[in-house]
Structure formats: structure tokens, C-alpha cells
A and B are shown apart, each in its own frame.
Chain A
């Protein structure tokens, strides 16, 4: 494990956002996204305000804009999908830049684009200010079943190991002159996938035996507990509460 132990998306820092307890942040992000999704699409200004809220959080967390924008690339497939909507949705037609498009389709495209972008941006902010382990602690604190949290923690711990194993297999294949060009090479790839599964599963068995020999009996010992006092909760709640106010305004106006 020559690389650092932090995940690639995490951006180390000491801002107030970094210091917030993870379960407060998780709850805030979930609340925020839920509010965004329930906002009526006609309230265009509300989405602008949401974006401003997220920008304020990013500024407080000292996350550079470029970093955030680079992560938003994940959305591209759905941007492509949204851009098709004005052409396939039936309804009232209008001309935009000389092309005939449908009005409900435009609204639909706007709806998906705005909400998905805000959701992705919120997740990216969460991931870049919270360490992996902290997120797991937060999930546990939010009463996710302990077994699920354990599975997630094993997946994250061994994710890089398994991925590296896969990469070594790929190097081994290519050093023997293999080149995946098309469907005909699928057999070899699938065989290595089968081998990877066996290796992963057997590694799981070994890990379990190692844990049992160290006294594991089905539950992980709680080493550190994530705690939050009332001010931290209030601080974290600022984002979803402001968003909720905007949402309510959007429904009434």
C-alpha cells in the first residue's frame, strides 16, 4: 500500500466543513438532495439559489471550483440523454435556434439536468470533505444495519487490493501477447474474471480465519464513536433548512 490511505476523491483540509461529524454531513446532504428533487421545475430561480448554497459550502470547505467541475464529468451520459428529451417528447412545439423542439421536453430536460447536477455536486462535496472511514462511522451512527456497514468497510478496505489483482492479471495477459480486440477475446477475459472471483472469495475466507483467530465473534468492536453536539447539528442543518425554505417559496410563488 504505497499510495496514501485516503481515497482519491478526498481532499485533505481543515475547514469547518471537514470538521463536521460525518453523520451530520450525511444527513444534511440527503436532506438537501431530497428537497431539491421535490422542488417544482418551473421555479428556475430556486435552482440558482441551491447552486449558490452549494457554492457557499464549497467556499467554506475551500474546495477549488476546478476540482468540483472535474468531478461533475460523471454526469455526462445523462446530459446526453437530457439533450434528447426536447426532440422525443410530444407536445406543444416551439422553435429554438431554428430547430423545432417541444416545450414539455425542454422542461423535462431542464428538470433532469438541474436536479442531477445539484445532486452530483452535493455528493462530490460530501466525498471530498469526508474520509472513507468517517463516512462508514457516520452511516453506522445513522442506524444503518451494522452488518451492512461491515460489508461496506470490507469492500472499501479490499477494493484496491482486488482492483490491483485485476490489474496484475491484465499485465500478465498482455505480457504474454494477449490483446483484447473484440468479442472473440471474451473467453480469456471471462476466465480471468472467474479466477479473480475465486481469489477474492478465498481471500475472504482467509480474512475471516485471521479475524476468528483474533477473537472475532460476529461483531466488530467499536473503537471510536462519532458524536455530535447540538451546535454541530445546527451548523450542518443550515444547508437543508435553507434549501427547504427555498423549496417552500418555490411552491407558493
Chain B
């Protein structure tokens, strides 16, 4: 989905660039708080991981295959700030070295693929893990939903940018239906892989999954052949449980009404699928043998995409688009709340020291 030069006009590109720069600035500050001086090496290695993951092909059927975009995965594994930084760096490097995505469209690309996917996925993930019981399975399920929604949400934001500053007058309803329709399909793949990957990491190193804390099995000591609970760690339980419960009903009502409204209203929206489905052509072609000489180059993975053909009713598209918007707001809310909690925790730590 890397947007090339000339797709979005110059003023909107510049505006998106400013927006992306702002998001990166916020993330720089946030990541430094999350990782302190470990930021550079850790975020760098995670960026390298995302870069590698985008080259791993997942076969779909009949010789076609796709790859992960990684926004939701990064957000859940390393937290929103670090994820935005990693994705921005990956996009910047892809733009400069591999000419993948135009340089003037860098702001659009970072906004759509970095910021929106991360904010939507992380917000939704935190919301769901807050609502569901704290188990590994519900964390995996939340990762599935978060990734599923994040992809069409970014497509919807791209459509918005295209509506404001697109260089060709394609009816915006068509663009929206095609983009969101295709990306719902892509999102399903992304969701399955993200959930499986998060599940795999949770099984081995639950402490490395940023989005859920406290899922690690309690430490046991074997004393005289019997398993005994180890002395409790000094970490205090999270105090955020009480206010979260009080807003739960509000959240559920809000979500349900948003879905109903979107599904109902969009019956009146136009639903004309068309050739634009090719927008999804970012999916890499399959390279069978990875030791092939050209496989060394990350370019090897890029090529003619397979054409996904989707016909999706306007109702579903509307549901996803609007819920994406809801989730953006939720994401901001969660980010702000997290920051508050962190600052109080940080001050408490400071007192202890």
C-alpha cells in the first residue's frame, strides 16, 4: 500500500508530513519514557525485525501469497510509541533506499501505515484486554480483532486523504468501497498471523508483550520436591482496575450503537465495486527459493501483486470505517490515560529511591 509520488497533491502531502512529524515527535518522547536509554538499540532491532517480517511470505492459495504489514503486531509487542518510531524508520528507509513509496508521500505513508494502524490496533487491543478476562487466550483474541480492524481503518484514512487531495476524480464512494473492501480481506490475513504470532510470543516470553502485563505464570520454587510459591515480587498490583470497571458499560453501549448506526446508515451508501481493487497490489509475489541470489536484496520481495477481488456490501464497509474512527478516539484516550498512570508510577518509584 506504499503510496507513490503524484498520487496525492502537494499541499495535502505536506500537511500529512506535518501530521506525521508531530506523531513521531510525540512517539520519540513516549518511547524514551518506555525504554529510556535502551530506545535506540531496542527500537532499531525491532525495526529490523519488522523489515524482515515484511519479507516473509505467507502462501494463501494457488501460488499467491501475501506478507504482513506489521503495524498491529509491533503495537502489541513493543507498545504504541516504539511501534510508531519503528514503522516510521522502516518507511523512511524503504522510501530512500528502495524507492518504495514516494518521498513526498512519506508523510502520507507514515500517517496511514504507521500512525493509524498503531493507534487503532493498540487502542482496540487495550480496550478488549481490559474488557475480557485476563487470560492468554483473550489476549490472543484481542490481538486478532485489533489487527483485523487496524488494516481497513488505515485504508479508510487513506481514502479520506485521497478525498481531500487526490489527483484524480474517482468517485469517493467507489474508492472507499474498493479500498476498505480489499483491506478487510487483507486484514483477515493480517489478523490471523498477528494473533498466532502474539500467541507464540505469549507462550514463551509473556513479559515481552507490551500490551498485556501480568500474564506470566507465577514463579514457583521446588522445595523438598514440592512446588511452593516464590516470595511475591515487589511490584504492586495495578490500581487502574476500579475506574475501568465503571466505564465498561459505557464503552459497550457506545460500541454497539456505533456499529448499529454505521451498518444502518451505510445501506444508503453506494456500493459499486470496481477495478480499483488493485490498490491492494502491495502484496509481494511468491519467491519459491529464498537462497536465490536476488533474494538477498529486500527488493526481491517486491513485485507484481496478485489481484484480490472483493465485493463487499456498503454495510460492512461502513461498520468498519466508523468503528475505526471510534477506535482512534479510544486509542488517544488510552494513550493519555497510560501516560498519567506512568507518571504517577514514575513519581512513586522516585520516592522509593
Contact = CB atoms under 8 A, between A and B. Distances in A.
Interface string A175-199: 0000011110111011101111110
Given A119-B104, A167-B290, A198-B204, A151 B86 contact: yes
21 contacts: A3-B296, A26-B96, A34-B104, A36-B6, A77-B305, A80-B278, A84-B276, A85-B170, A89-B168, A107-B168, A119-B4, A147-B39, A152-B93, A159-B48, A182-B59, A183-B192, A186-B192, A191-B196, A196-B49, A201-B78, A207-B45
A37 B78 CA distance: 36
Interface in A197-217: 197-198, 200-201, 203-205, 207-208, 211, 216-217
Nearest to A108: B168
Interface in B56-93: 56-61, 68, 77-78, 85-86, 88-90, 92-93
Interface of A: 3, 7-9, 26, 29-30, 33-34, 36-38, 41, 71, 73-78, 80-81, 84-85, 87-91, 104-105, 107-109, 111-112, 114-116, 118-120, 122-124, 126-127, 132, 135, 145, 147-148, 150-159, 161-163, 165-167, 170-171, 180-183, 185-187, 189-191, 193-198, 200-201, 203-205, 207-208, 211, 216-218, 220
Nearest to A75: B4
Interface of B: 4-7, 9-10, 13, 24-25, 28, 31-32, 36-49, 51-53, 55-61, 68, 77-78, 85-86, 88-90, 92-93, 95-100, 102-104, 167-171, 174, 192-193, 196-201, 203-205, 208, 274-276, 278-279, 281-282, 290-291, 295-299, 302-305
Q: Which 6 A-B pairs have the closest CB atoms?
A: A154-B44, A115-B6, A194-B200, A108-B168, A119-B5, A190-B196
A84 B291 contact: no
A120 B169 contact: no
A193 B85 CA distance: 20
Q: Is the interface of B mostly helix, strand, loop or mixed?
A: helix
Contacts, number: 298
A119 B103 contact: yes
Contacts of A200: 45-46, 48-49
B102 A119 contact: yes
A74 B299 contact: yes
Contacts of A90: 171
Given A87-B275, A193-B197, A150 B44 contact: yes
Given A183-B61, A190-B196, A111 B44 contact: no
B279 A81 contact: yes
A114 B188 CA distance: 34
Given A29-B103, A161-B48, A181 B59 contact: yes
Contacts of A154: 40-41, 43-45, 47-48
Given A88-B170, A120-B99, A151-B86, A190 B197 contact: yes
B225 to A, nearest CB: 32
B200 A193 contact: yes
B122 to A, nearest CB: 16
A187 B6 CA distance: 39
Given A88-B174, A196-B53, A105 B6 contact: no
Nearest to B192: A186
A180 B66 CA distance: 12
B10 A208 contact: no
A155 B167 contact: no
Contacts of A88: 170, 174, 274-276
A22 B40 CA distance: 22
A43 B271 CA distance: 35
Contact of B41 (A37, A78, A105, A207): A207
B305 A127 contact: no
A197 B203 CA distance: 13
A114 B100 contact: no
Nearest to A170: B290
Nearest to A201: B208
Given A162-B49, A200-B48, A207-B41, A148 B85 contact: yes
Given A111-B168, A112-B4, A147-B40, A37 B13 contact: yes
B23 to A, nearest CB: 12
Contacts of A191: 196-197, 200
A182 B61 contact: yes
B169 A91 contact: yes
A197 B304 contact: no
Contacts of A71: 99, 299
A185 B90 CA distance: 27
Nearest to B175: A88
B24 to A, nearest CB: 7
B48 A155 contact: yes
A161 B295 CA distance: 14
